[in-house]
Structure 1
Amino acid sequence: MLYLGGLFGLVTIGLWIFCLVDIITTQEGDCRNLPKMGWLVVILFLPLVGGVLWLVAGRPQGTSAYRAGAYERNTPGFPEYDRPGRFAVPDPAADEEFLRRCRERAEEQRRKGRGES
């Protein structure tokens, strides 16, 4: 019985620490049903009940396990080649024409760079 009591205590402390960190890192406007300080008070004075209440009624909806920080880039919604509006060559001949014009333009820029006319 002592083992179960010790395990329950560890789970309660783990839940309490997780909820405290989660509340502190949550933006002020994202908390539901109570202001951020209200949730902190509930968690501090009622660790088990407050933690369960935070997870059920206070935590922002749609949160994932990882939220990007202020200086981190979010991944785009589409992979690079499936992006809507991306230009795709309809036929290989048009692609060859485009590459030929790119080569000609590059050669022209090289000649100008060398001072040739």
Structure 2
Amino acid sequence: MFRALIYLLPLALTIYAFIDCLNTPEDEAKHLPKIAWVFIILLFWIVGPLVWLGAGKMRHAPAGGRTPSEWHRNHRHEWVAPDDNPEFLKALKEENKKDESLLKDWEADLRRREEELKRRESGAGPEESAPPAS
């Protein structure tokens, strides 16, 4: 039993340190790049994992939170949906006003063109409005 423990304990330590190193963001690895830590952990079986756990990683929690759930806990928003956000609603109203004015301009231009067409048709006789014979 003790002989198996001699091999299993360093193996478990190496696996733990390896996975911990892989899951650690690059900016939290101290002294060396993360890839160098991976090689140290895998090449130096007992010493590498111990050095990684002791000196290779910053052990404080990041201010903003590293995981999405931590970030959402720390960054509460006042509004739940866009419909409850007054700035979003204000932007929609301004966009609607611009669209309405553009639509009114188009309608006025269309009316002007229709009136112009009616004047041309009413001023022209049946000879002028008939298509030329070929």
- Give the structure-2-normalised TM-score: 0.47
Partner of 1:102: none
Which of 4, 12, 15 is matched with 2:13 structurally? 15
Q: Distance in 2 between matches of 1:38 and 1:9?
A: 24
Q: 1:45 is matched by which residue type in structure 2?
A: L
Deviations 1:46-96 (A, max 9, x none): 121100000111022225xxx852x324545xxxxxxxxxxxxxxxxxxxx
Q: How does 1:11-50 map to 2 (within 5 A)?
A: 11-50=9-48
Number of equivalent positions: 72
Q: Which residue of 1 aligns with 2:69?
A: 72
Q: Which has the higher contact order (CA 8 A, sep 6+)?
A: 1
Q: Which sections of structure 2, spanning at least 5 residues, go unmatched?
A: 75-134
For the residue of structure 1 that corresponds to 2:46, the secondary structure is helix
1:32 & 1:17 partners in 2: Cα distance? 20
Q: In 2, Cα distance between the equivalents of 1:35 and 1:68?
A: 19
Q: C-alpha root-mean-square deviation of aligned residues, in Å?
A: 2.4
CA distance in 2, matches of 1:62, 1:27: 13
Question: 1:29, 1:73 → 2: CA distance?
Answer: 18
- Normalised by the length of structure 1, the TM-score is 0.53
Rg larger in structure: 2
Q: Which runs of 4+ in 1 moved over 6 A?
A: none
Cα distance between partner residues in 2 of 1:62 and 1:9 = 31
